[in-house]
Amino acid sequence: MTFADRLGELLQRNLLRSIRDREAPRAHAADLSRIIIGGSELLNFASNDYLGLAGHSSLVKAAREAMETFGFGTGASRLLAGGTSLHSELEHDVAAFKGTEAALVFNSGYAANTGALPSLAGEGDTLFSDELNHASIIDGCRLSRAKTVIYRHGDADHLAELLESEGGQRSVVVTDTVFSMDGDIAPLGALHALCARYNARAGDRSVLLYIDDAHGTGVLGGGRGALSHFGIRPEPWILQMGTFSKALGSFGAFIATDKDTVQWLVNTARGFIFSTALPAAIVAASRAALRAVQEEPFRVAALWENRARLQRGLRAAGFDTLQSGTPILPLAMKTPEEAVAFAEQLRKHRIHAPAIRPPTVAKPRIRLTVTAGHTPADIDALLDALTAIRKGKG
Ligand SMILES: Cc1ncc(COP(=O)(O)O)c(C=O)c1O
């Protein structure tokens, strides 16, 4: 079968993915609550720009100033002095924000997960991974020489059983904090208690807890992330991975933890070592974003008010939003065909919310994300469109 044949088959099964670029915004500052595709402006319920920071003037200004100082490209990896003083300053800022001793910046969340997990667990070790973890975690586990054991989604009791029977020299429990396609929150209190119990036991079997806070950073715990949300103190055996690319409106990622673990990652994480340093402009924008989250708490408040309005409306209209507890609100669909047709109808109502289908998820859905940048009228327009489509008037 040729690639063209295979693509034809995907199209027939409503599983073909295609790129849709957006055009330059009409308003001066980029505001991702609206996007222009194919000449028409759509309300955007597909971005992870939860706090509306992607077009924030302080990020743009910081990036411009850094570019004027350092130029654009960095020319080499951090270990070959491609990084700038801004990179280390960002790591200090992240550590202070997350309450840890140290932090390390990665070029993306994908690079962080695929780079760090094989460094943390090797031959003779075991990775315990939630069955709905992000693809970058799955790939990180695959790249590691450790045994990977999958526990049932959000099931700390199942994890406890498996830790007992399958634990290696070192065990690493890995979980998304907010699951990116379902919007539910991991039971971090129970996972933390379990790991803490293990680590308090005599003997040298240690358990690390690696949390992917890509959708929790800037969203949960007043913006500080999942540990704050659960009132959990950072410990040397907890690694907090987070991205600058979602609520922080910038690009790249970080892992915040204790100094020794950071130094271990500097020396062993291939996604860090063998990749050119992020441009200073991006690093400066990430620093500005961390400041904005802390200095403009009204953004987190607006995000959650908008989330409450949308969730209330969806519930009243009878939509099934699965177990979501966050601004990611999935609408369950029966088939990929139904999901694709629904997204197409939403587009006719000038709303962008994509169909998410297998193999990204087992069950097809429309994935809605609401942000601080939406107005109450935007949310009502979405609810009206959803209701009209549901009633067959779409
Ligand atoms: C849970 C989770 N982890 C990691 C990533 C990857 O982050 P990045 O987009 O910075 O590569 C994403 C985003 O796609 C994500 O949703």
Query: Would you tell me which CATH number, out of the four given (3.60.15.10, 3.40.50.150, 3.40.50.10280, 3.40.640.10), belongs to the domain 57-295?
Result: 3.40.640.10
Specify the residue with its C-alpha closest to ligand 1, atom 6: 109
Which of the residues are catalytic? 180, 215, 246
**Identity of the amino acid at 162:** L
Kindly list the domain boundaries of the chain, sorted by start residue: 16-45+297-390, 57-295
Ligand 1, residue 251: give the atom nearest the CA: 10
Q: Cα 198–204–205 angle (5° rounding)?
A: 45
What is the C-alpha to C-alpha distance for residues 389 and 392, in angstroms, rounded to an integer?
A: 5
pLDDT at 43: 97
Atom of ligand 1 nearest to the CA of 245: 10
User: Are 71 and 285 contacting, i.e. CB atoms less than 8 angstroms apart?
Assistant: no
In short, whether 213's Cβ falls inside 6 Å of ligand 1 is: no
Residue closest by Cα to atom 7 of ligand 1: 109
User: Helical H runs in the chain?
Assistant: 3-12, 57-70, 85-98, 109-120, 135-143, 156-166, 188-200, 226-230, 259-268, 270-273, 280-295, 298-316, 336-348, 376-390
Mean pLDDT by 10 residues, the chain (394 residues): 96 92 77 92 97 96 98 98 98 98 98 98 97 98 98 98 90 97 98 94 79 98 98 97 98 98 98 98 98 98 98 95 96 95 96 94 96 98 96 70
Q: Give the pLDDT score at 356.
A: 95
> Tokens for 203?
């003997």
Q: What is the pLDDT of residue 391?
A: 85
Ligand 1: residue of 245, 286, 326 to mutate (most ligand atoms within 8 A of CB) is 245
Element (H, E) at 40: strand 40-44
Cβ–ligand 1 distance for 109 under 6 Å, the answer: yes
Residue 168 structure tokens = 């290696």
State the Cα–Cα distance between residues 371 and 33, nearest whole angstrom: 7
Q: Tell whether domain 16-45+297-390 is in CATH 3.90.1150.10.
A: yes
Q: What number does the ligand 1 atom closest to the CA of 178 have?
A: 1
How close is the Cα of 137 to the center of ligand 1, in Å? 9
